[in-house]
Structure 1
Amino acid sequence: MANISMTETVLQCHPMSEKGFVDAIAVHVDRAEGGRLQIKYTLHGLVDGIDFPEVAQPKRTDELWKDTCFELFCGRADDRSYVEFNFAPSGQWAAYAFTGYREGMTELACAPPQIKCTAGEGIFEMTVTVDLPESLRALDVMAGFSAVIADKHGRTAYWALAHPPGKADFHHKDCFALQLEARSAA
């Protein structure tokens, strides 16, 4: 039987974000052996008023953060390098590797994540299955889960596990606030 680690946490709205259309965002993450993550983002709020991108062909797409999207940042605690994944409700995605804080950005070679979305009265859920890069699969990693949520009135709210002082900045190591322990076969 595989050894799986499950963690539930909540994101915090950035103090300078526009408020009133998202009440809460929770994250549930399962880390299985081999570095596979299953992440469920659950948004509570005025779902009908959120500006979700239209469903599109699932493919790698840049600049998803300009619209409603959910994100994962992770890296080792003792290393400046990290990776970033962006997951859009449209089914589009992006993945990047960085050598340091916003430095040395390259496209991360990886399998496409699986993205599934459901919505109901006051609730939106996005479930993502993604494989960590080979370099992080067998290690404990520090993770940052975040979301950019735009509404149909032009307001934007930035959500993360933690926020550094100043403007919203998901690349800042202060946002990498959850340790995900490496897993192996039991």
Structure 2
Amino acid sequence: MQVDLRAFNSCDAIDFLRFDLERGASNLLQLSFELSGSIQSRFATIAEPRDRTFGLWQEDCFELFLRPLDCRQYWELNFAPNGDWNCFLLSDYRQGLEASNDIKIKTLKSRHLTQRYQISATLELAGDAMQLNKTFWMGPAAILAAAGSRHYFALEHGNKPDFHCPDHQRRFIN
């Protein structure tokens, strides 16, 4: 499933930001973020995941929120252009944040294409994350710095950026 992310505030340094999610084997998800614009040249090329790191959202960060149907708990995944990552489980909307090992990052890599940058990952679902069967809610997002400001990208926005809001997520059916 491929979707374009919308900027909360205009950003001339980014022409587009696209997200793609596909199911691999029954417990694997493959995702990618692809962006075009002058900002892409500052991101490094990575070949594997680096460190599990907290606070990635304070810098450039690609994010994915996953929530089983009819469930309040959800996972937040963070991917930095340098290869750092994290995975959290929340018990409800912005509540009970804790590090989670239910989703493992099997691969995390990036590459530069002609005028584009792509970061992709393979996720392995385990434990409670196996609830993410064929249909679930997803919310891809990104926080990117450009021209001295932070820019927020998501499927939808309310009156302020809020990636956790279930109203801004889309059903994934595979």
Does residue 1:136 correspond to 2:129, yes or no? yes
Does residue 1:174 correspond to 2:170, yes or no? no
The corresponding residue for 2:100 is 108
- Conserved? CA contact 1:53–1:67, under 8 Å: no
- Conserved? CA contact 2:52–2:85, under 8 Å: yes
Residue 29 of structure 1 and its aligned partner are, at CA, apart by 1.4
Q: Provide the C-alpha distance between the structure 2 equivalents of 1:79 and 1:145, rounded to a whole number of angstroms.
A: 18
Q: Provide the C-alpha distance between the structure 2 equivalents of 1:54 and 1:9, rounded to a whole number of angstroms.
A: 23
The corresponding residue for 1:67 is 59
The corresponding residue for 1:89 is 81
The corresponding residue for 2:154 is 160
Task: Report the CA distance shift for 1:136/1:57 in structure 2 as closer, same or farther (over 3 A).
Answer: closer
Length-normalised TM-score, structure 1? 0.81
Q: What amino acid maps onto 2:156 in structure 1? A: A
Q: Write out aligned runs for 1:22-41 (5 A).
A: 22-41=14-33
- Conserved? CA contact 1:70–1:88, under 8 Å: yes
Q: Which has the higher strand share?
A: 2
Give the gaps of 5 or more residues in structure 1.
1-6, 182-186
Aligned-partner SS, 1:91: coil
Q: Provide the C-alpha distance between the structure 2 equivalents of 1:24 and 1:54, rounded to a whole number of angstroms.
A: 19
Aligned-partner SS, 1:100: coil
Q: Which moved more, 1:53-62 or 1:142-151?
A: 53-62
Larger Rg: 1
